[in-house]
């Protein structure tokens, strides 16, 4: 079992960031470790927050913008949309935390 804090933030694990033009180094190992951590948070009913970057290339709702399909997300997870490298800049992240 992993030690957990009050929230798990999963940042920028989007198709364009992780898979275009090719998969990032050790992507599958990274996905497995993140999914194991997500499971630990789900088992303890703690916050899961996915942060997605939005810009011209990562247009909201596009395939490139989507979280990679291998990551276990649930409808009740939080999804934060950011337009800046700083995840707190003009988002509700601090309010959710």
Asked if the structure places residue 2 within a domain, the reply is no
User: pLDDT per residue over 70-86, tens digit each?
Assistant: 999 998 899 999 999 99
Residue 89 confidence (pLDDT) above 90: yes
Please report, for the domain that includes residue 40, its CATH number: 3.40.50.850
Environment class of 51 (CB within 10 Å of its CB; exposed 0-12, middle 13-18, buried 19+): buried
Q: Taking the CA of residue 20 as centre, how many other CA atoms within 13 Å lie in the half-sphere pointing to its CB? A: 14
> Domain range holding 78?
7-96
Tell whether 69 is covered by a domain.
Answer: yes
In a domain, 1, yes or no: no
pLDDT at residue 1 greater than cutoff 70: no
Q: Read off the pLDDT of residues 16-59 as tens digits, 9 standing for 90 and up.
A: 999 988 889 999 999 999 999 999 999 988 999 999 999 999 99
Binning the chain into helix, strand and coil, the percentages to the nearest 5 are: 25, 20, 55
- Taking CA atoms, 41 is separated from 19, 30, 51, in Å, by 26, 17, 16
Number of domains observed in the structure of the chain: 1
């Amino acid at each position: 079992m992993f030690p957990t804090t009050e929230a798990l933030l999963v940042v920028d694990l989007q198709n364009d960031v992780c898979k275009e033009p090719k998969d990032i180094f050790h992507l599958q190992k990274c996905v497995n470790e993140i999914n194991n951590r997500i499971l630990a948070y789900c088992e303890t009913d703690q916050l899961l927050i996915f942060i997605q970057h939005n810009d011209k290339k990562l247009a909201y709702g596009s395939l490139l913008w989507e979280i990679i399909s291998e990551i276990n997300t649930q409808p009740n997870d939080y999804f934060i949309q950011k337009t800046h490298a700083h995840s707190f800049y003009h988002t509700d992240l601090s309010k959710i935390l």
